[in-house]
Structure 1
Amino acid sequence: MKTCRSVGASSQMNGQHDWDSRRKRKIADITQALSVSPVDVAALRRMAISEGGLLTDEIRCQVWPRLLNVPSQVLDQEPETVERENNKDYNQVLLDVQRSLRRFPPGMPDEQREGLQEELIDIILRVLKRNPQLHYYQGYHDIVVTFLLVLGERLATALVEKLSTHHLRDFMDPTMDNTKHILNYLMPIIERVNPEVHDFMQQAEVGTVFALSWLITWFGHVLSDFRHVVRLYDFFLACHPLMPIYFAAVIPQDLPYETLISRAGDLFVQFPPSELAKEASSHESVAASTFKDFDLASTQQRPDSVLRRRRKQKQAALESSAATSVVAVARPSAARRLVRLAVMGLTVALGAAALAVVNTALEWAPKLDLFP
């Protein structure tokens, strides 16, 4: 028995050592991606998706604005004073925020929590005032409070506004039509993952409303551990706006948290929204269409070293022999074949999902020369 315990303890120590090493490498990679000019947004996406996400709130303060492509001048602006009187949303926002006690860290002093709740109300009302086309929905505060706790009021205001006009846009229409449309993707995904579960749900006529709170709060309302919430937000901010519905499809599986995230990413690779659109509905969601902005920005914000390398490769191709030129011409198709293999789900590693996310311009953005 002593030997067994010793082996187990040694294995745990080795596992911890490996994770510590990976963590240090990841922090170094994130620092490098942030330090180049322009910032390597594609690398930051990969870091946010892969195991452990962005690791700390300090890192999230630097990376989340990059993932949402929020300009630095916007981040530096001090939030304006909010007038609550005669605001049509104030009473409902106040009621929801007052019911949000469980979203704050246990043991937080009442005075501190109450101060944060006041800031939470101000952020929501401020975003709605700036964007009259947006409509408040119950559950929105669950997303906003996460950004407040991680970023503070100033940064949270800027990022929540960008998020609300893009990723969350479908939920903020005057009706729930677009929200229902996104929920319609759930059953086709489940059918491909687990036909037996799909058939059972169809026979039971449970519908998809059970996943509504998951979707519109990015699971913030239903997850009790704040570490899990921010880890999931890392993932969602780095991905296509419909990724939360893919994550909802893997929830019935009793798997470790990181494995659920990995599975959701792989499902997105294997069954992209374009393949499910006909089964879900004929029109594209607003959030999905606006994702092109982020995707195009990411492809343009590659480090200048990449651009220099491309120029050198093109110059070398011009100066090479005819045989070398043939190889150079073949290279793009080889790279595209690699993407195609990933999309077909021939690899189950999270790297496949990361590859698809980083190269999303192939599907959603205008045709770009992504490969040298």
Structure 2
Amino acid sequence: MTVSSEVNKCNGDDRVTHNEDGELLNDLTVDTGTESTEKRALLDKLGGEIDSIEVKEGVTRCCCSCGGLVENRFREKFWPFLILGDSDKEALTKDYESLTKEEIERHKDYYQVYVDVSRSLKRFPPSIQTEGSVVEKYMDDLIEVILKILDTDTELHYYQGFHDVLVTFLMVLGKELTFAVACKLVQSHLRVFMSKTMKETNDVLYLMYAVFEKEDKKLFDYLMSAELGTIFALPWVITWFSHSLNDLPLVLRLFDLFIASDHLLPVYLSAAVVLHMRDSVLDCECEMPMIHKLLGDSINDPQMPWSKLIDSSMHLMQTYPPQKIAKRAKLIQDISAPKPRARHQQQKNSGSTLVSKYHSVFNFVFSFVRERPLFTVAVATSLVLAYFFNYYRFKSGS
């Protein structure tokens, strides 16, 4: 089905079009100045010799510099190049085999994936959110690609947020290439998040606190006192900020950065965001819910200096590489974790409670006997007589 539309977006000349295959072709431009014009010329030149090491280095520098890859025509060319190398794109797309509806619906993860994908409407540009047939096609393609990827390796486990990452690739690359690049990413950049448990993910998130401690001890102590933990940054890191950000051009620019960088750079960018917000955090009430909300709301602040934060994240990673702060991060994580009481302490407390109860009962009985001696003798005599009466009645009956 051909859907032809061209819609002006929020940033000047940003446009979204759909080709005959239903692919989104976004000419989303971060900067229309001289620097971006020069970068376009450079990327056009690099695209002519896409199989050399020098080209890869040049594209990587563009991804990490201001504006990233600038436009989606460059992303469509260079994202697969950076992730897959010089693999034949045409061969990869030609070999793609679609799943049947029955195969999709029989998949063990189908229901969870379907529910998550159904909630991802806001991830699409406003221009197509009202075009039901187009959105439905994207969602069907997204579900199919996710399930096919999970079938490539039994060690891969779906996590909520994986669909946010893939829908971004889908809008730029289409179904077949999205499958190809995602198969590579789940074995590299996203591997940690696809483990059976969240332990490894939580481990890497605590690298932020090792950075906070070194960069801003006052902020670190405040966050530890508030018992903030790492949940606030979880959606940022595992979805490459795509779930939390409402600005699609910015999401695409961050994807340029993350594709060309170490898989832990999203953690350092999260740390850079918090460090940038340090004054607001310190002015906030020292309670986890309050700081969590503050940071969650700040991510879409129009005044957030993303270019500066990107530069800061790369500087932080260079200054405090993961291998140098991993042990400290683990120690901070252990300190932050709630400590279960030791079994012997629980038994001791349980025994103390029992003794206390018996002691209270004894004191009550003793006080009662001392204050009512005649009544106590009468009750005791009655009990003794009743006992002997029943005893002799039982013997005579037998």
TM-score by length of 1: 0.68
CA distance in 2, matches of 1:231, 1:38: 24
Aligned equivalent of 1:80, options 97, 115, 119: 97
1:91 aligns with one of 104, 108, 111: 111
Residue 80 of structure 1 aligns to a residue whose secondary structure is coil
Cα distance in 1 for residues equivalent to 2:134 and 2:35: 35
Q: 2:149 aligns with which of 102, 127, 151?
A: 127
Between the two structures, name the one with larger relative contact order (CA 8 Å, sep ≥ 6).
Answer: 1
Structure 1 residue aligned with 2:63: 48
Q: CA deviation at 1:192?
A: 2.3
Using the alignment, how far apart are the partners of 2:65 and 2:42 within structure 1? 12
Unaligned 5+ segments in structure 1 are: 1-17, 283-372
**Counterpart residue identity of residue 98, structure 2:** T
Could you tell me whether the CA contact under 8 Å between 2:116 and 2:163 is conserved in 1?
A: yes
1:272 aligns to 2:321 (yes or no) = yes
Q: Which AA in structure 2 matches 1:153? A: K
What aligned pairs does 1:173-252 form with structure 2 within 5 A after superposition? 173-252=195-274
**Partners of 1:131 and 1:61 in 2: CA distance:** 26
The 1:197/1:168 distance shift into structure 2, 3 A limit, reads same
CA distance in 2: counterparts of 1:19 and 1:111, whole angstroms:
33
Counting only pairs closer than 5 Å after superposition, residues 202-351 of structure 1 correspond to structure 2 as 202-252=224-274, 253=276, 255-281=304-330
Q: CA deviation at 1:191?
A: 1.9
Aligned equivalents of 1:60 and 1:212: distance in 2? 26
Gaps in structure 2 of 5+ consecutive residues: 1-30, 278-303, 332-398
Alpha-carbon separation, structure 1, partners of 2:34 and 2:222: 44
Which 10-residue stretch deviates more, 38-47 or 234-243? 38-47
Counterpart of 1:275, as a letter, is: K
Secondary structure of 1:84's partner?
A: helix
- Larger Rg: 1 or 2? 2
Give the match's secondary structure for 2:242: coil
**For residues 189 and 216 of structure 1, what CA distance do their matches in structure 2 show?**
19
SS class of match (1:219): coil
Query: Aligned partners of 1:89, 1:219: CA distance in 2, in Å?
Result: 24
Secondary structure at the residue paired with 1:115? Answer: helix
**Structure 2 match to 1:38:** 52
Q: How does 1:78-157 map to 2 (within 5 A)?
A: 78-82=95-99, 83-108=103-128, 109-157=131-179
C-alpha offsets along residues 206-227 of structure 1, whole Å, 9 cap, x if unaligned? 1112111111111111000111
Q: CA deviation at 1:48?
A: 0.4
1:64 aligns with 2:71: no
Aligned to 1:286: none
Pairwise CA distance, 1:114: 1.1
What is the deviation of 1:261? 0.8
Query: Take 1:78 and 1:24, find their aligned partners in 2: how far apart are those partners?
Result: 37
Q: Match of 2:376?
A: none
2:396 aligned residue:
none
Q: 1:197 Cα deviation (Å)?
A: 1.5
Query: C-alpha displacement at 1:90, in angstroms?
Result: 0.4
1:176-206 per-position Cα deviation (integer Å, ceiling 9, x unaligned): 1211111121101122232222111011111
Q: CA RMSD in A?
A: 1.9
Amino acid at match of 1:260: L
Residue 7 of structure 2 corresponds to none
- Report the residue type matching 1:30 in the other structure: L
Aligned-pair CA distance for 1:161: 1.2
The Cα of 1:272 is off from its aligned counterpart by 1.4
Seq. identity, %: 38
SS at match of 2:67: coil
TM-score relative to the length of structure 2: 0.64
Distance 2:32 2:252 in 1: 19
CA–CA separation in structure 2 for the residues paired with 1:136 and 1:47: 32
**1:147 and 1:44 mapped to 2: Cα distance?**
18
CA distance in 1, matches of 2:34, 2:228: 45
1:145 match: secondary structure? helix
User: What is the CA–CA distance in structure 1 between the aligned matches of 2:88 and 2:155, rounded to whole Å?
Assistant: 25
